[in-house]
Structure 1
Amino acid sequence: FLETVIAVFEKNFEHAEIICVNDASNDNSVTMIKKSVDFSSTCSIYIINMSYFHGLEMAMKAGIDLSIGDFVFEFDNTYLDFDSQIIMDIYQRALQGYDIVSASAKRKEKFTSKLFYKAFERYTDLSYKMSTESFRVLSRRVLNRVEAMNKTIPYRKIAYANCGLKTDNLKYEVVHQVNWTNDEKEKSYRISLAIDSLILFTEMGYSFAKMMTVLMMCMSIAMLFYSLFIYITAHPVAGWTTTILFLSIAFFGLFGILTIVIKYLQLLIDLIFKRKQYTFESVEKLTK
């Protein structure tokens, strides 16, 4: 994989650098990377050794922070299931005015990934359609804007989709079938990342809390009327009616307070975690 990337970069770019992030890997990846240096003549290669396992997002953030190029390619994995020409295809597409261009394989998407993207699209107002991507190219303007918009970036794809700049996605035919495997640590990290992203970047948590609050309020009101009905038409046990009335009113107020608290928490996330006030796609100069 690395030899292919080196060959493409040296053929098409005068200056290029490759940054590999060692996220506490326990296999022979670092050794293989060092051997690949022999195939490089003009391309600079760096290895960032993380202190411990940080996960894909933080590892990629470390690599991006070290990068200095006007355009940055992000390869989330080393599965070479595409033709090497696709790398330059998305770069040429970026030169046509797109700040983010990604490449996706023409294959059936995993059910869990499809479910996550559906939930994300349902509870956000973004026009960008998210999907599973193999790699992407980003302009320096994207990286600067994302850095200015967010204090931290738990999930890069959402931050890129939320930045408001022009994006495009190219589909490619799979030329080599690759078996995708993730260890247990990576699977656990991805599940945690999906939950955090839905809470931080969507209205899903607030919508669920609001729905449950309305449901419980309706149940409290129903119990209130039921206790009054029993009090008028039957002979309840002494103290039963007042107890039910008190509990119904108390829980009605409690659920109302919880809704307000959750709304305040949502506002705090928007004001503190997200620093975006507005976004624009482009600026057109009409006069010379």
Structure 2
Amino acid sequence: MPQLTIVVPAYNESAVLKSFHRRLQQVLDELPLDCNVLYVDDGSRDDTWSIIESLIALDSRTGAIKLSRNFGKEAALTAGLDAVTADAAVVIDADLQDPPELIPALVEQWQAGYDVVYATRSAREGETPFKRFTAAAFYRSMERLSDTAIPRDTGDFRLLSRRALDALGQLRERQRFMKGLFSWIGYRQTSVRYLREPREAGTTKWNYWRLAQLAIEGITSFSTAPLRLATWVGVGAAGFAFVYGLWVLIHALLYGDPVRGYPTLILVILFLGGVQLLALGVIGEYLGRNYAESKQRPLYFVEEQHLPRRQP
């Protein structure tokens, strides 16, 4: 019988874990597959791990990995996917915004021959208009900037076949943007649309600062457009300065050179200084990524591990 592992990264999700596991069990009971669940505790500071241990004791299909500290969701996802030995894996968050009841639809597309089946949000319930606007702007910006086609309005909720998992396991870069990596590996991919529900319990761990950092991570991981933009801004500023300097020279030759233009001079200096600092910031962002990669540190460390027990 084909095997399926559900990988669930969790960070301070004690308020919702039991409800999530109950709904997930009901779904897995109906699937004609050998299913198990693998939780990844990303250094939670509440009682998430103790709840996971209780779930392991009650359900033989459940396993877990506890990381030594909070490495971030991308690393936690990587740790979970590295441990999968099944024929396919589904990645899903524990907050119940992504419904476990959609998993059979993902499995159906996998059995039809697709290697990556991602869940695309048709609507985002329970989020502010500003959050929906920024999310839409990010996905559409990535669509234009990246050479890799990253699906719109699509998170980490998806199914990966065995060969997609093997391909993903070869990508060991330290600065990880998983949504881009899922697309970059290629193979046959398709989508299943769904309505994203509000979080059932607990609070989101993604404030606007962390979302902005993730956006920068995505753009710098899959596009050199910011570097090209800095180049063209520099070329434009140099061209403007040359034309303006030529005009000043001609004006001085024809009409003399009264001492004027101090505000204009200050404005030009501030503008060019701002452009230079912007370009240095963009270069620094890419240089920092190269520095992090050159150290070759492990992506994560495991403190404790309980793999799911095989079903008879």
TM-score by length of 2: 0.67
Amino acid at match of 1:72: A
Counting only pairs closer than 5 Å after superposition, residues 135-146 of structure 1 correspond to structure 2 as: 135-146=157-168
Structural RMSD (CA): 3.6
Amino acid at match of 1:102: Y
Q: Which residue of 2 aligns with 1:106?
A: 122
**Structure in which a larger fraction of residues adopt strand:** 2
Q: Which residue of 1 aligns with 2:105?
A: 89
Counting only pairs closer than 5 Å after superposition, residues 1-288 of structure 1 correspond to structure 2 as: 1-12=20-31, 15-37=34-56, 39-41=58-60, 43=61, 45-79=62-96, 82=99, 84=101, 86-108=102-124, 110-133=132-155, 135-149=157-171, 151-152=173-174, 154-173=176-195, 178=200, 181-183=203-205, 187-236=208-257
Unaligned runs of 5+ in 1: 274-288
Give the superposition deviation at 1:13: 5.2
1:103–1:135 Cα contact (<8 Å) kept? yes
1:106–1:173 Cα contact (<8 Å) kept? yes
What SS does structure 1 have at the residue aligned with 2:166? helix
Q: Distance in 1 between matches of 2:186 and 2:175?
A: 16
2:119–2:155 Cα contact (<8 Å) kept? yes
What SS does structure 1 have at the residue aligned with 2:85? coil
What SS does structure 2 have at the residue aligned with 1:72? strand
Q: Deviations over 1:167-193 (max 9, x none)?
A: 111113467774783247x65433212
Q: Distance in 2 between matches of 1:19 and 1:39?
A: 14
Give the superposition deviation at 1:2: 1.4
1:80–1:176 Cα contact (<8 Å) kept? yes
What SS does structure 1 have at the residue aligned with 2:240? helix
Q: Would the alpha carbon gap of residues 20 and 144 (structure 1) be closer, same or farther in structure 2, given more than 3 Å must change? A: same
Q: Distance in 2 between matches of 1:143 and 1:153?
A: 19
1:3–1:36 Cα contact (<8 Å) kept? no
Q: Distance in 1 between matches of 2:226 and 2:257?
A: 40
Q: Distance in 1 between matches of 2:121 and 2:242?
A: 53
Unaligned runs of 5+ in 2: 1-19, 125-130, 295-312
Amino acid at match of 1:74: V
Give the stretch that moved more between structures: 89-98 or 196-205: 196-205
Q: Which residue of 1 aligns with 2:304?
A: none
Q: Distance in 1 between matches of 2:181 and 2:98?
A: 26
Q: Would the alpha carbon gap of residues 150 and 26 (structure 1) be closer, same or farther in structure 2, given more than 3 Å must change? A: closer
Q: Which residue of 2 aligns with 1:286?
A: none
Q: Distance in 1 between matches of 2:251 and 2:168?
A: 60
Q: Distance in 2 between matches of 1:146 and 1:177?
A: 29
Q: Distance in 2 between matches of 1:177 and 1:65?
A: 27
Amino acid at match of 2:89: V
Q: Would the alpha carbon gap of residues 194 and 180 (structure 1) be closer, same or farther in structure 2, given more than 3 Å must change? A: farther
Higher-Rg member (1/2):
1
